[in-house]
Structure formats: structure tokens, C-alpha cells
Amino acid sequence: MENTQRRVGIIGGVRIPFCRNNTAYADVGNFGMSVKVLGALVERFGLHGVELGEVAMGAVIKHASDWNLARESLLSSGLAPTTPGITTARACGTSLDNTIIIANKIAAGQIEAGIAGGSDTTSDVPIVYGTRLRKRLLAMNRAKTPMDKLKAALRGFSFSELKPSFPGVAEPRTGKSMGDHCEQMAKEWHVGREAQDQLALDSHHKLAAAYAEGFFDDLLVPFRGLKRDGFLRPDSSMEKLASLKPAFDKRSGHGTLTAGNSTGLSDGAAAVLLGSDAWAAQRGLTVQAYLRDAEVAAVDFVHGEGLLMAPTIAVPRMLARNGLSLQDFDFYEIHEAFAAQVLCTLRAWESADYCKQRLGLDAPLGSIDPARLNVHGSSLAVGHPFAATGARIVATLAKMLEQKGSGRGLISICTAGGMGVTAILER
């Protein structure tokens, strides 16, 4: 069969500043943040009244009423109401996944253009009640008479049923938080506290420098009085970071993950516009970069593999398919869920044993140039609203490639549930 796959252009992206939970966006919610970034994208690229092939948005923590977040948000964005919308979730990889979804449809010729993005809030979270109260309320709803409803309401009732339940951050299969899992990874790969703090400090300094040089001027839309990310600490230092206590392993005396080298609970949203070359040319839009390929992988973290190590598997698969080495990139965007996770990933690719035994390679993938890693800072300094991070990274990397004029970039995002989403951008 003839290969009719088309190139998929990344035309540009926008986001609102990311901020700490329970601050500026506490009362906005996923819908409000999604409308803001979609509307900003419409404004920037002149898409008022335009029908796109698809809008794929996502959120990890959302209310039941947000089941069709993408569709509802786009209806308030200025796009033509005839534009379809799909809502997705794959934890931290959500909006990179959405970028892949839109790109695949464009490459296959099913659509000409679409928007991919995501939002997340840990301020406006769904509060639910336990199984007993839920079943009681359902029984009351099924009851036919007022007396039967009263009996269903009172039979065996306990005030303990009124205790609400908040969304948890633990892995259902292990009962451990992502931070607990990452502590185990840090110990396994011998990643120390100082190296983690240094990576975190570098992230803050690089993000501050990017703001100073105006890199984010066309990527960021002010919102709720914020003009830059609320996590940024330009004055941070190794001394300040060293003073922080372990955030997860608090008892053994060997905990290395802290609030300073781990991402904080965040609110925010981001989105990117993708299109075929023909569609972009027709509308007079410039393509910043192209999505060349993508790969998703998963690890058996329940039986001992590192929860956040799946990108170490996805990347070499993708490299092999494209005839590339790990060193064939001008930029590396590795999501900083934790500084330790980034360092474990790099050490795994440098390990001959891991690459041979786990990846089936004859030689290690090798090292990367640290100067090319997260050049403008990443999640430790920016923040990490789960479903927004992928679109943030895609938009950042696409602009970097446009500024350079040519080149190739690697995206690597770990996710809850032991998965990883990766992609290659090029120009």
C-alpha cells in the first residue's frame, strides 16, 4: 500500500501562567481555564468562526460534569460550534497524547487542523462520599413512596457516612504515592540529594532567564493578575534547597525528595494548534515545527519496576524506528515530575546493564549534553498541572526549533500508572 501520510505542523501554542493550588485560580476550575487558553489560541491565529477537524482537551482531576470538557470549552472559545471535541486523560501525558491524537488524524488525511491541550486544577477538586451513603441515596431515589424513601434514608444510618472523600494521589495498585515510588527509584539508581537540588535550581534559573529574554511573551497569556508562573523562584539557592526536609521518606533518615526538588500541586492550562502544510498555507500561518513520531510504553511497577521509568523504554523504541541515536537531538525536554526521575532516566540510558537486560540493546544509549536539556526550565520551576504539561512542552519546543531554524527535539513525559509518552519534533 502506498504511504499517503502527511506531515503534521505545529503552528503554535499558548498557556496561562501555572500557579500553586488554592491561589489565583482556586475558583476558576478546568472549564474556565480551558476556555481561556482556547480563546487565546483563537485570538492569536484568527480562528473566529472557523470549523476545525477536532479539539482534544483533557483533565486528570475533574468533576463528573466535566465529562465533555473539550466540547463545552470550545463552544465558548470563538471557534465554529460545528467543531467536534473529545475529552481524554492519561495523567501527566494527557496533552501530549492529545497532540498525538490530532496529529495522527491530520497525517491520515481525516482532518486538516485541530487543537490539542489540557487543564488541571488541584484547587477545585471533586468531593465524593463513601459507598454506603451513595448506595443509600440510590435506594432513596428508587423508592416509590415517601415512607419508603424515609426508611431507605434511616435504615442502618451512621453519621460516619457523611465523611467526604477527597481525590487521592496514591497508586491504587500499591497504595504508595508517586513520590514514594520515586524515592525507591532514587535509591535504586543511587541518585543523591545534591544532584536533585542542583537540577531543580538549574530549572529555576533557566526559567527566569527565559522570562528575562522575552521567550514566553507570545506563549503566555496573563490571567487573573498573573503574568508569570507562580512557582518560579529566581532567588533560590543550593543553601535554601538543602534546608528543606524530606517530603516522602521522612523516617529512614535517607529521604532525598523534598518540596524543592519535586513538583508542587498546580493549576493551569495549555493548548497547541496543529495543521497540515496546505491548511497552514491557506490561512497564511507559519509552521514552527513538525511532529515526526511518538511512542507510548508502560512498566510493571506493581512487581518492582520503577513507576516513572516507562519513558526509558518508549524512547529507544522510537529511536530505532526512526534510525536515530539518543545524541541526534538539539534539544531534550524531559518532564521534571521530580528531579530524581529525570536523573534516573538519564542514568538508565547510560547503563550498559539496563540497556542490555531491559531494553535488549547491544550498547547503552549513552549520555546527552546537559546544555541541551530543558533549556528554558521545566516543571520544577514552571509547575505541573497534570494534563497541561504536554501541551506546554510541545509549544515551548516548537518555538525553540523555529528560533534555531532547523533541528530536532525529544520529548519525554512520565505518568502515573507506570506509563510514558514520548515524541520527536523536528524542523
Biggest CA pair distance of the chain: 75
Which residue among the candidates 204, 335, 376, 384 is catalytic per the annotation? Answer: 384
**Catalytic, out of 19, 92, 182, 355:** 92
All residues at 6 or more sequence positions from 132 whose CB lies less than 8 Å from its CB, including other chains: 158, 161
User: Are 392 and 367 spatial neighbours (Cβ–Cβ below 8 Å)?
Assistant: no
Q: Kindly write down the DSSP assignment for every residue of 115-152, as one continuous string.
A: EEEEEE-SSS---EE-HHHHHHHHHHHH--SHHHHHHH
For 60-70, b/e burial (b = at least 16 CB within 10 A) is: bbbbeebeebb
Half-sphere exposure of 74 (CA within 13 A, CB side): 29
Whether residue 376 lies in the annotated active site:
no
Query: Which cell numbers hold the place of 126?
Result: 471533586
Single-letter amino acid code for the residue at 116: A
In angstroms, the Cα distances linking 297 to 48, 57, 183 are: 38, 21, 21
Give the active site residue among 182, 344, 355, 414: 414
DSSP state of 404: H
User: How is residue 215 annotated by DSSP?
Assistant: T
Catalytic-residue membership of 92: yes
> Active-site residue numbers?
92, 384, 414
